Amino acid sequence: MHLYGEAVRGNYEEAAVAALLIVLAGLVPVLTVVRVERSAG
């Protein structure tokens, strides 16, 4: 809930950076799986 708290307090810049990092961290395993499947296929 830290990210939500930052946004509520008006620290949108910090919250935006944190949100982007979370999204990027979530994309890493997805891209890895896609690459593995493409090379295996």
Condensed to tens digits (0 to 9), the pLDDT of residues 5-28 reads: 766 777 777 778 889 999 999 999
Q: Which two tokens stand for residue 14?
A: 């910090």
pLDDT at 41 over 80: no
pLDDT of the residue at 1: 63
Using CA atoms, how far apart are residues 22 and 10, in angstroms rounded to an integer? Answer: 19
Q: Which two tokens stand for residue 27?
A: 């994309």
Using CA atoms, how far apart are residues 3 and 14, in angstroms rounded to an integer? Answer: 9
Global pTM exceeds 0.85: no
Using CA atoms, how far apart are residues 26 and 8, in angstroms rounded to an integer? Answer: 23
